[in-house]
Structure 1
Amino acid sequence: MKRNRIASLLMVMLFSMLLTGCLSSEARRKDAGEQDVYELYIACDSQEDTVTGIFMNEYARLLEEKSNGRIKVNRYPNSQLGSDAEITEAVQNGNITFVVQTTAPQVAFVPEAAIFDAPMAFKNLDVARKVLDGPLSEKLKGYYEAKNLRLLGYADQGFRVMTANQDIQSLADLKGIKIRTMENSNHIQLWKDVGSNPTPMAWSEVYIGLQQKAIDAQENPVETIVAAKVYEQQDYLINTNHILHTLSLIGSPAVIDDLPEDLQQSVYDAADEAKVIARNATDERAAGRVQIVVDSGTTVSPFNEALFNEMKAASAGVWDTLESQIGSELVDLLRSEIDKAEKELGLQ
């Protein structure tokens, strides 16, 4: 284990040196002067056969297509260039051009991205996507830009749900359950507030943790649950829909602004199309992923509105915490955009 970890660190350092040495603003072109082909770089920490991987690959394909071959996008899935945080830092420094990732690890760079930690915020994906395409995203772009990151668009991987070895039908059923969470203070508070025992753990250790009963449960989008096969160690998948698993495409302002104006427009146009493709992939793959879980013998509990409302009431304090972290303006904007979307969709 120690030898593997050292090897991994050396690989990351090697990539970092290569990127720092090879991806300066001049080296992005064939030569120092303006040339026909610009080499750009996109990365993610997920496998290609996930919505994150699809988002990455479709964006790269569209950008090459829209540029008529004047842009070549080198693709690095599955943490080949490091962890989420390492990739984001490389984008911030202009060493990688783009990254596709969930918003949770971006909070360390852009604190305002924590707005998507708001629990039980959206009644369904239609509401969530209307909000993602509205004034809230435009507001967030300014916060990203201030941290030398350019927000190009949001897709999603559906809602985060939980798996456990007992069915969860009410708040009482959550009491004392030891559930793995990400190292995210707002996610941890959510699970504490609903009576569970949140346990941050590296994702690579979760399958064994469930197998050895070190944890009782975990939470993730279905796509991730299936990719890692954690359902093999759990008796139930419960559609709690507690947090939207937002996927963002962010880029390096230094690299993007160094492109000719027509190619900069291609960057933005490709992003608008790729996010729609990614959302469609989420919807199209959902039933098949759930069927894999069912076929394994794991019981899938449908969305329970009463449980959702109980969890929403119990976790209201997380919204207050978010206000103290990022200010009331963003939280109020999220609330107003949710209200507007629900009215437009006839949910009120």
Structure 2
Amino acid sequence: MELFKSLSTVATAASFACLATGVQAETWKYAIEVSQGDIQDMYAQEFKKRIEAKTDGDVEVKIYYGGTLGTSADATELVADGALQFANISLGHLGTFVPEIQLFSIPFILSENNEVNKQLMTDSSTVYQGMEQSFSSTGLRLMSIYSEGEDAWAANREVHAPADLDNFKMRILVSPLQVEAFKDLGASPTPLPFGEIYGALQLKMIDGVGQPISSVYQSKFFEVTDYLISARHQLFTSSIITGDDWFQDQPAERQQLIRDTMTEVTHYMMDEVPRLEQEFLARILKEKPEMTYISLNESERNAFRARAEQTRKKFVDMTDGKGQQILTDFLAERAELEQRLN
């Protein structure tokens, strides 16, 4: 509530400033994949608040919610064309445009240290310098990556081991590597549009879906599943992208302002997400007491971790010879940060 009060105050101040000067605020259009109240929305609202305050009302950020501007692929193309300034795109979707970014679809690729992941997602030279040319060739620029929380499984049956995923239809994003990753974990990956997940779970057309706990709650997937399984195999990662041409046309100080603000918001939200996860989990268990929450132990997780080694090899094969260097460099960055940040 305090967040939205402060946003209202900033917006009102910006309106008065524009009236006083007679100058119309520049509007930046920002699309997210989900509805109001989700973590993507919280990220967008925090970015809006900070940018509008830092520019003294010279910029207004207008947020468009899930589906308003079409699919995630549509939003990505609008960004590349300059018709949309920013879009929050899940990395599984983005991997169809830039195959190397599917690095984040490999299970167990990230650290279990949140501070390490914050640095990797905002300042990894492997990602931001090493993949820059691949992004710019599609008209895109990667501004930030952040975690919406653990990719938990809302499921219609209990899972403790890879064998439990035999003939298990797991809804996934349309991402070549994510298909292979869930095959490697033992499941039958089933690409499906987000809007069809609830009905498919209800009708038992699929057996489960991997989503942040916030999304399991906000999208009501817990209503039509019996188990919520925490394998802690992966973070649900999202990206903020902009158009490369649009960004290059901005003055240097404005470019730096955007970069700095994205980093600030990413660090802020990744500190908030663990607390928000617990709040959403508590709401799920309160509203559906019969829901069974399963947190896999280390032995159970190790069985899935061993399977993920196959996915690393497939990532290398899918990235035209670039993948091995990317994987090696990224793991080296992670190890150095883990040692330095303890």
Which TM-score bucket, shorter chain as reference? Answer: 0.7 to 0.9
1:260-291 per-position Cα deviation (integer Å, ceiling 9, x unaligned): 33333322222122212322331231111111
Please show how residues 88-237 of structure 1 align to structure 2 within 5 Å. Answer: 88-126=76-114, 127-132=116-121, 133-138=123-128, 139-237=130-228
| Whole-angstrom distance in 2 between the partners of 1:73 and 1:52 | 15
Letter in 2 for 1:134: S
- Using the aligned pairs only, state the percent identity: 23
2:238: which partner in 1? 247
**1:271 equivalent in alignment to 2:262:** yes
In structure 2, distance between residues paired with 1:141 and 1:224:
30
| Aligned partners of 1:43 and 1:79 also within 8 Å | no
Aligned residue in 2 for 1:16: none
CA displacement at 1:242 relative to structure 2: 2.4
Preserved CA contact (<8 Å) 1:238 1:300? yes
Counterpart of 2:337 (choices 328, 341, 344) is 341
Deviates more, 1:186-195 or 1:120-129: 120-129
Out of 122-131 and 86-95, give the one that drifted further.
122-131
TM-score, with structure 2 as normaliser: 0.85
Deviations 1:202-242 (A, max 9, x none): 22222111211222222111111111111112221110122
2:249 and 2:186 map into 1 onto residues whose CA distance is 51
Measured in 2, the distance between the counterparts of 1:315 and 1:275 equals: 27
1:74 is displaced (CA, Å) by 2.1
Give the match for residue 69 of structure 2. 81
What CA deviation, in whole Å up to 9, does each residue of 1:67-99 have, x standing for no partner? 122222222122211211111101101111111
The 8 Å contact of residues 153 and 209 in structure 2, kept in 1 or not, is answered as: yes
Residue 36 (structure 1) shift: 7.2
Task: Decide whether the 8 Å contact of 1:293 with 1:300 is kept in 2.
Answer: no
With normalisation by structure 1, the TM-score equals: 0.83
Give the C-alpha shift of residue 61 in structure 1.
2.1
Conserved? CA contact 1:51–1:281, under 8 Å:
no
Distance 1:183 1:224 in 2: 18
SS in 1 for 2:60: strand
Structure 2 counterpart of 1:130, one-letter code? Q
Give 2:43's aligned residue: 55
Question: C-alpha root-mean-square deviation of aligned residues, in Å?
Answer: 2.1
* Contact 2:92 2:174 (8 Å CA) reproduced: no
Please identify, of 181-190 and 35-44, the stretch whose mean Cα deviation from structure 2 is larger: 35-44
CA contact (8 A) 1:175 1:195 kept: yes
- Structure-2 separation of matches of 1:311 and 1:249: 29
Contact 2:108 2:234 survives alignment (8 Å)? yes
Q: Does 1:305 align with 2:301?
A: no
Instruction: State how far apart, in whole Å, the 2-side matches of 1:42 and 1:196 are.
Output: 35
| Conserved 8 A contact 1:55-1:100 | no
Q: Secondary structure at the match of 2:134?
A: helix
Q: Distance in 1 between matches of 2:260 and 2:117?
A: 22
| CA distance in structure 2 between the partners assigned to 1:264 and 1:314 by the alignment | 42
* Equivalent position of 2:3 in the other structure: none
1:330 deviation in Å?
Answer: 0.8
CA distance in 2, matches of 1:36, 1:180: 45
Could you tell me whether the CA contact under 8 Å between 2:160 and 2:296 is conserved in 1? no
Looking at structure 1, the residues matched to 333 and 255 of structure 2 have their Cα atoms a distance apart, in angstroms, of: 29
Deviation of 1:345 after TM superposition, in Å, equals: 4.4
**How many residue pairs get matched?**
313
Give CA deviations for 1:247-267 in whole Å, capped at 9, x if unaligned: 211112322333333333322
Task: Give the match's secondary structure for 1:157.
Answer: strand
Structure 2 SS opposite 1:108: coil
